[in-house]
């Protein structure tokens, strides 16, 4: 006869918290990938026509997509040339500080063992806002008065 409280079949499963090293894996892998890709942009300069291929959206429509000029902008930011980066893709230049802040928040939460991210409601609002701003940027950069935003 077993005592119900000691019976392993009846004991509720305890959830083990992941270790700090396991929690930090995501932010560190993301930082490594971004760093490696940024270095790759210096090895193969995106300012050279066709060095990174072509934009399928631009090839099909003749219009600049929101990402057109993004590789050149990141390359220029890596060279600390903010003006050139902004002229390549202003949206990328404005997004970088926000993305860095989100990465720092993610890293801090992973280090401390806090929740994985903001509540779903906040993620939804931020996603919708980012999508709306991206679409507005794309439309404006393809209009005659927004030509200064074109890649």
Q: Tens digit of pLDDT per residue, the chain (151 long)?
A: 556 555 656 655 566 778 899 999 999 999 999 999 999 998 999 999 888 888 999 999 999 999 999 999 999 999 999 999 999 999 999 999 999 999 999 999 999 988 777 778 888 998 999 999 999 999 999 999 887 777 6
What is the spatial distance between Cα 121 and Cα 75, in angstroms, rounded to a whole number? Answer: 34
Domain boundaries, the chain: 56-144
What is this structure's pTM? 0.79
């Amino acid at each position: 006869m077993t005592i119900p409280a000691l019976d392993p079949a009846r004991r509720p499963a305890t959830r083990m918290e992941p270790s700090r090293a396991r929690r930090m894996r995501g932010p560190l892998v993301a930082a490594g990938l971004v760093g490696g890709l940024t270095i790759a942009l210096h090895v193969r300069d995106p300012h050279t026509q066709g060095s990174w291929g072509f934009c399928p959206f631009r090839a099909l429509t003749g219009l600049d997509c929101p990402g057109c000029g993004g590789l050149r902008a990141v390359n220029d930011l890596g060279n600390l040339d903010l003006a050139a980066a902004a002229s390549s893709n202003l949206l990328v230049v404005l997004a970088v500080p926000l993305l860095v802040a989100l990465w720092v928040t993610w890293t801090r939460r992973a280090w401390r063992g806090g929740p994985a991210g903001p509540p779903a409601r906040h993620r939804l609002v931020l996603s919708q806002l980012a999508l709306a701003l991206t679409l507005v940027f794309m439309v404006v950069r393809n209009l005659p008065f927004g030509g200064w935003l074109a890649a």
